Amino acid sequence: MATLKELTHREDRLAGGHRLCAGCGASIAMRQIMLGAGTDPLVVGCATGCLEVSTTIYPYTSWRIGYVHNAFENSAATVSGVEAAFKALKRAGKIPADKKIKFMAVGGDGGTYDIGLQSLSGAMERGHDMVYVCYDNGAYMNTGIQRSSATPKGAWATTSEVGAAQAGKQQKRKDLTSIIAAHNVAYAAQGSISHWKDLATKAEKAFAAEGPAFINVLATCPRGWRSAYNKSIEIAKLGVQTGYWPLFEVENGEWKMSTSSKGLVKAGRKPIEDFLKPQGRFKHLFAPENSDLLAEIQADVDDYWEYIKHRCGVE
Ligand X SMILES: Cc1ncc(C[n+]2csc(CCOP(=O)(O)OP(=O)(O)O)c2C)c(N)n1
User: Which chain residues interact with ligand X by CB under 6 A?
Assistant: 26, 48-51, 72-73, 107-111, 137, 139-143, 148
- Give me the count of residues in the chain: 315
Q: Say how far apart CA 3 and CA 12 lie, in whole Å.
A: 16
DSSP 3-state of 217: strand
**Residue 154 or residue 224: which is nearer to ligand SF4 going by CB?**
224
**Residue 44 or residue 257: which is nearer to ligand SF4 going by CB?**
44
Of 84, 57, 52, 90, which is closest to residue 69 (Cα–Cα)? Answer: 52
Contact 187, 206 (CB under 8 A): yes
21 binds, among ligand X, ligand SF4, other proteins, none (CB under 5 to 8 A by kind): ligand SF4
143 binds, among other proteins, Mg ion, ligand X, none (CB under 5 to 8 A by kind): ligand X
Q: Say how far apart CA 15 and CA 12 lie, in whole Å.
A: 7
**Residue 19 or residue 87: which is nearer to ligand SF4 going by CB?**
19
Q: Give the CA angle between residues 201, 207, 137 to the nearest 5°.
A: 70
Per CB under 8 A, which region of 75-83, 144-152, 220-228, 299-307 contacts other proteins?
75-83
Q: Say how far apart CA 14 and CA 32 lie, in whole Å.
A: 10
Q: Say how far apart CA 133 and CA 108 lie, in whole Å.
A: 8
**Residue 47 or residue 247: which is nearer to other proteins going by CB?**
47
Q: Which helix (H) or strand (E) holds 230?
A: none
| Residue 126 makes contact with other proteins by CB under 8 A | yes
| Residue 52 makes contact with Mg ion by CB under 5 A | no
- How is residue 190 annotated by DSSP? E
**Is the link from the previous residue into 59 a cis peptide, with omega within 30 of 0?**
yes
| Residue 54 makes contact with ligand SF4 by CB under 6 A | yes
Of 141, 256, 124, 121, which is closest to residue 190 (Cα–Cα)? Answer: 256
**Residue 34 or residue 264: which is nearer to ligand X going by CB?**
34
Q: Say how far apart CA 95 and CA 76 lie, in whole Å.
A: 23
**Residue 70 or residue 298: which is nearer to Mg ion going by CB?**
70
| Residue 92 makes contact with other proteins by CB under 8 A | yes
- Taking CB positions, which residue lies at the least distance from ligand X? 108
What's the closest the beta carbon of residue 137 comes to ligand SF4, in angstroms?
A: 5
| Residue 160 makes contact with Mg ion by CB under 5 A | no
Q: Say how far apart CA 111 and CA 117 lie, in whole Å.
A: 8
Per CB under 6 A, which region of 18-26, 57-65, 158-166, 171-179 contacts ligand SF4?
18-26
| Residue 21 makes contact with other proteins by CB under 8 A | no
Q: What is the signed CA dihedral for 262, 194, 80, 67, rounded to 10 degrees? A: -160
At residue 162, what are phi and psi to the nearest 5 degrees?
Answer: -110, 125
DSSP 3-state of 266: helix
| Residue 74 makes contact with other proteins by CB under 8 A | yes
What's the closest the beta carbon of residue 290 comes to other proteins, in angstroms?
A: 39
| Residue 222 makes contact with ligand SF4 by CB under 6 A | yes
| Residue 222 makes contact with Mg ion by CB under 5 A | no
| Residue 127 makes contact with other proteins by CB under 8 A | no
What's the closest the beta carbon of residue 110 comes to Mg ion, in angstroms?
A: 5
| Residue 232 makes contact with Mg ion by CB under 5 A | no
- Which residues in this chain contact other proteins in the complex, by CB under 8 A? 41, 43, 45, 52-53, 56-59, 61, 63-71, 73-74, 77-82, 84-89, 91-92, 95, 101, 118-119, 121-122, 125-126
